[in-house]
Amino acid sequence: MTNGNSTSVHKKECRDLTLKQVTVFNDRAELKRILQCNAETGLNEIHIENVTNYIVHDSVRVDSRGDGTIHNVQLREKPANHEETDPPKVAEIRVKYEQKLDEINYLKDRENVLLKRIEALDKAVLEASLITYLLEYRDLKNSIEKANRKLNALLLELNRAEANFKTCQLSRSIVIDLESNEGGLIELEISYQVHGASWHPSYDIRVGTSGEQSLKVNKEGHEVK
């Protein structure tokens, strides 16, 4: 496809590119993918679409093989198809949050009523009733504190879910500006890093005691996503 400025545009899905190598670090991973494309003579704009939302923005590197000179590489973001309503997960957490908020308001109303009863107690019945009311008041305060802790936890969960949803509302593409003198097949190696991956080593140590003594150590790396 050619745009109005005589630049040939090539669009590729990221998930369709050959995955050449994955290197896992402590808190991220580096991926290398291979893209083959028939470049046109002149300017070419190659779009690698729907890149992962967890890409590290300044980590994209591109090497080319064939008749092509890379002039620019950038990561572009644009709004994806927005949903007018909350996704199911966000909606579910929001309902729980609002229910817990209603529960707290109900408990606080009971607390206010109880305090007014204590203030209105007649001196004659004050001593007999005060203990009962104070015990009820203590239970109410404990219930309110417990509900508030749950409310704060739900609010954090809701904020995380909304942030993840907004992140997914952006579509990311790697755009490569390439110039070819003769056109033809070119191969690009695209490397980039992603958050949300790590690994930890584990060791299996075995000591042989029969016959010749030996020590065998096996080391494995376990990926954590």
Rg for the chain, CA atoms, rounded: 31
138 backbone dihedrals φ, ψ, rounded to 5° = -60, -45
Note the pLDDT of residue 94: 83
**192 pLDDT higher than 90:** yes
Alpha-carbon distance of 165 to 170, in angstroms, equals: 9
pLDDT at residue 93 tops 80: yes
Q: Categorize the per-residue pLDDT at 62 as very low, low, confident or very high, splitting at 50, 70 and 90.
A: very high
Residue 87 has pLDDT above 80, yes or no: no
The pLDDT assigned to 218 comes to 54
Angle 73-78-79 from CA coordinates, rounded to 5°? 165
Strand partners, 42: 180
d(CA 183, CA 105): 70
Q: Which of 70, 116, 97, 212 lies closest to 156, judged by CA?
A: 97
191: left (phi over 0), alpha (psi -120 to 50) or beta: beta
The yes-or-no verdict on residue 190 having pLDDT over 60 is yes
Query: Do the Cβ atoms of 143 and 109 come closer than 8 Å?
Result: no
DSSP string, 63-118: EEESS-EEEEEEEEEEE----SS--HHHHHHHHHHHHHHHHHHHHHHHHHHHHHHH
Cα(96)–Cα(92) distance, integer angstroms:
6
